[in-house]
Amino acid sequence: MPNEFWIKLGWWLFVTSAVFFVVAAWRAGDTIALFGAIAFLVANIAFMIPIYRGRD
């Protein structure tokens, strides 16, 4: 399998874990953890943008 597949898979696993962190923080009612989890999710998405737009 090409390296790009593994890179995308890794980033999608990070996004999945970030979503679980958001849900866990929400359920726990921990505002600081919730903001941290949302920041982690947004950062993962930001890192994925160049992969899907192409590397110019």
Contacts of residue 48, Cβ cutoff 8 Å, sequence gap at least 6:
8, 11, 15
For 36-54, what is each residue's pLDDT tens digit? 999 999 999 999 998 888 7
How far is Cα 22 from Cα 14, in angstroms, rounded to an integer? 12
Domain that holds residue 35: 3-53
Domains held by the chain: number: 1
Which amino acid is located at 46 in the chain? A
From the DSSP assignment, how many helices (H) and strands (E) are in the chain? 2, 0
pTM for the structure as a whole: 0.82
| pLDDT, tens digit, 9 for 90 and up, residues 11-39 | 999 999 999 999 999 999 999 999 999 99
Query: What does each C-alpha distance from 10 to 5, 30, 41, 51, 53 come to in angstroms?
Result: 9, 27, 14, 12, 17
